[in-house]
Each structure stands twice: as structure tokens, then as C-alpha cells.
């Protein structure tokens, strides 16, 4: 079974803090994704990566950056957390040669106070 893990299930940070969200997948997938999920808005793509050290902006990259130094790990960074970044963050992965089904981690619920 594909396993995607996220470093924290719940996280509480203060405004202005730098926040790291880590995601690890164990199935040698090329593609990895970060989404945020908000009620009434569904899933919105923040960034994705199709290879080590490669990244592409999604629909809402402002205020976020990412890092992919190893194939299995994809990190989301909030350089200076703000209250409007309080959300559920979901990481996903998929193989390169696939019909684009994605495998999701359990999510990190981030609260910025």
C-alpha cells in the first residue's frame, strides 16, 4: 500500500513564525503535491513537484514556498505565518506514469494565532 505521512496532525503557531510542514511518501513516486482545504472552497493546489529540486506553482502559492531535496520528501514552508493561513494542509503523491490518481496523507490542521 502507498503510504503518505505528514509530520504533524495538529499544529498551533503564532503570527510571524516560520512553519515547516513535512511530507514523506514511501512508494518512489515522482510527483508530490501540497493542497490546502477550506470549508466551501474544496482543495486548492499550493505547489507541486515532479522531480527532486523541481517545483511548480499551483493556484495559491503566495505566502508559501516548498523544498524537495529528496525524492520521498516534500516540505511546505510558511515563511511568516499569518492568521489567514489557518487551514487543513494535505500532501499527496502520484507516480509519473499514471492516470493521475493521487494518494493523500492524513493532513495537518494548522492554527495560526
| Stretch in the footprint of another protein (CB under 8 A) among 14-22, 61-69, 71-79, 103-111 | 103-111
For another protein, give the closer residue by CB, 11 or 103. 103
Residue 1 in the binding site for another protein (CB under 8 A) = no
User: In angstroms, what is the minimal distance from the CB of 106 to another protein?
Assistant: 5
Give me the DSSP letters along 67-92. EEEETTEEEEEESS--GGG-EEEEEE
Distance CA(90)–CA(104), nearest Å, equals: 7
Residue ranges with strand state E in 1-113: 4-6, 10-13, 19-25, 31-38, 42-49, 56-57, 64-70, 73-78, 87-94, 103-104, 108-112
The smaller minimum CB distance to another protein, of residues 12 and 17, is found at 12
Residue 97 touching another protein (CB under 8 A):
no
Kindly tell me which of 17 and 96 has the beta carbon lying closer to another protein: 96
The pairing of beta strand 4-6 with beta strand 19-25: antiparallel
* Sites for another protein among residues 30-89 (CB under 8 A): 31, 40-43, 45, 48, 50, 58
Closest distance of CB 9 from another protein, Å: 8
Amino acid at each position: 500500500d502507498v503510504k503518505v505521512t505528514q509530520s504533524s496532525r495538529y499544529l498551533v503557531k503564532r503570527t510571524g513564525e516560520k512553519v515547516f510542514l513535512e511530507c514523506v511518501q514511501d512508494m518512489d513516486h515522482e510527483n508530490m503535491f501540497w493542497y490546502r482545504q477550506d470549508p466551501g472552497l474544496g482543495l486548492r493546489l499550493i505547489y507541486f513537484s515532479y522531480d527532486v529540486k523541481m517545483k511548480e506553482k499551483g493556484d495559491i502559492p503566495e505566502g508559501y514556498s516548498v523544498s524537495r531535496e529528496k525524492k520521498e520528501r516534500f516540505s511546505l514552508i510558511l515563511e511568516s505565518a499569518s492568521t489567514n493561513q489557518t487551514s487543513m494542509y494535505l500532501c499527496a503523491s502520484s507516480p509519473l506514469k499514471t492516470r493521475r490518481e493521487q494518494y493523500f496523507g492524513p493532513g495537518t490542521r494548522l492554527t495560526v494565532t
